[in-house]
Amino acid sequence: MKKLIALLLAAVMTLSLAACGSGDEAKNSDDTKNADSSTEDSDQAQEPEDEGDNAEAEGDDASGEPYKAAFLVNGNLGDKSFYDSANEGLTRLKEDLGADAFDFKVEEMGGDPADEANWEPTLLDYCDTGEYDVIVIGTWQMYDALLSAYKMYPDQKFIFFDEPFDFEAEGNPDNIFNMMFKQNEVSYLVGAGAALMTTSSEIEGIDPANSIIGFLGGMDGVLINDFLVGYIQGAKDVNPDIQVAVAYVGDYIDSAKGKDLSLAQFQNGADVSFNVAGNAGLGLIEAASESGKYAFGVDSDQAALLPDYAASIPSSALKNIGNALYLAIQEDMAGTLAYGTTKSYGFAEGGVGLVMDAHYEEILPESIRTKLAELQESIVNGEIEVKSAYSMSTEEVAEVVNSVKIQ
């Protein structure tokens, strides 16, 4: 009996830990990230715009106080991706506008289960000071905290990123700006790239005979499936006969399991895969490296971060949250930020991007690169509309996945 109780306890612990673990990681991985290298192109594109906003910001300045933002991180900086990207965007804005026009404070609230209880009180404390023009928070984990905060402080403005805010259900509050990222767009490009690669005879280690590609997701949720739906659409558009081996790790931490799942995909004919599974996705990258195959990176420029495995990583899908914040806050300074609405940042807005550097050019032959550039162009000008899992039912997503399953 005693043993049984011990056993049950162990089982409960396992489950609860698994739950905590995945929740913890979700923000790290899903709520995807960005590497500095990719932002450069878009920075340049923004320059003229910046100057215009500069003038306006200076105009505000005359009235005294700088515009102040608080960025509450439900995790820690130093993740080399998601939160660091946001921090980088704010830092860049401060540098560009000057500290007397824009200032911000970052509060690292910690991401461990034990820290979660502090998130909401911290948010309310910040609202209570009334010092900040805008409070920036993000990820689904902060949703409940935001729900209580925006009601208690109707005059406080919030930017809420990477989780859709249900404006209708909440009675259309006008103090929240919801910032979303079109990961499906960049994922479309990755899918097309993978599909083109797997039948190419120009790339080392690829068997052009079959057209199978892989996908490794963290958990079966809307955000991961948003990546997946775009990935499949892109792959199908360039090769209607494409087959996609889809696997989910079940969490975002079990890299060893991610590696096993990926090895099974590669052994069954996949040549290229895409990891959207946080740290578990590192297992895919190792598996690709060991099998002499390829894996696309996600969140950050993983080829740059993992030099030992770079030869297996043609490119990475990025979410440039820093860019989006940079733009949104300037809009807010000018008074044109559309509070009470959701805005999605895609290719056109510089919110997402595919790393296209020298390393990318080295691995992918020119024909594929040209095609991908064309596809990106078509997405930007609206010729291609990428489906999103956010506007699909679970059944519709399953239908898309099943249409490309290996027979």
Q: What is the contact surface with another protein in residues (CB under 8 A)?
A: 3-4, 6-7, 9-11, 13-14, 17-18, 21, 25, 28, 76, 78-80, 112, 114, 220, 245-248, 250-251, 253-257, 259-261, 263-265, 267-268, 279-280, 282-283, 286, 305-306, 308-309, 398, 402, 405-406
Do residues 318 and 355 lie in contact, with contact meaning Cβ atoms separated by under 8 Å? yes
Q: Which is nearer to another protein, 147 or 306 (CB)?
A: 306
Q: How far is the CB of 92 from another protein (least distance, A)?
A: 22
State which residue, 39 or 265, has the beta carbon closest to another protein.
Answer: 265
> DSSP labels for 341-397?
SEEEE-TTTTSEEE--SHHHHHHS-HHHHHHHHHHHHHHHTTSS----GGGS-HHHH
Neighbours of 137 (CB within 10 A): 27
Nearer to another protein, 2 or 391 (CB): 2
Q: Quote the least distance from Cβ 137 to another protein, whole Å.
A: 20
Provide the H-helix boundaries in 62-175.
82-97, 113-129, 143-152
Cα–Cα dist 240/305, whole Å: 33
Q: Which is nearer to another protein, 24 or 332 (CB)?
A: 24
Measured from the CB of residue 310, what is the shortest distance to another protein in angstroms? Answer: 11
Backbone φ and ψ for 173, nearest 5 degrees, come out as -65, 140
Minimum distance from residue 270 beta carbon to another protein (Å): 9
**Radius of gyration (C-alpha) of the chain in whole angstroms:** 22
- Quick one: 16 or 381, whose CB is closer to another protein? 16
Query: Minimum distance from CB of 36 to another protein (Å)?
Result: 15
Q: Which is nearer to another protein, 21 or 173 (CB)?
A: 21
CA distance 225 to 244: 14
As measured in angstroms, the least distance from the Cβ of 76 to another protein is 7
Q: Considering the complex, state which of residue 189 and residue 229 has its C-beta at the smaller distance from another protein.
A: 229
The dihedral built from the CA positions of residue 191, 205, 302 and 110, taken in this order, carries a sign that is positive
Q: How far is the CB of 110 from another protein (least distance, A)?
A: 10
Q: Closest approach of Cβ 80 to another protein, in Å?
A: 7
- 32 vs 156, which CB is nearer to another protein? 32
Q: Which two tokens stand for residue 76?
A: 């820690």
User: Rounded to an integer, what distance in angstroms lies between the CA atom of residue 261 and that of residue 284?
Assistant: 8
Cα dihedral value 77, 83, 86, 87, nearest 10: 0
User: In sequence order, what are the residues at sequence separation of 6 or more whose Cβ sits closer than 8 angstroms to the Cβ of residue 171?
Assistant: none
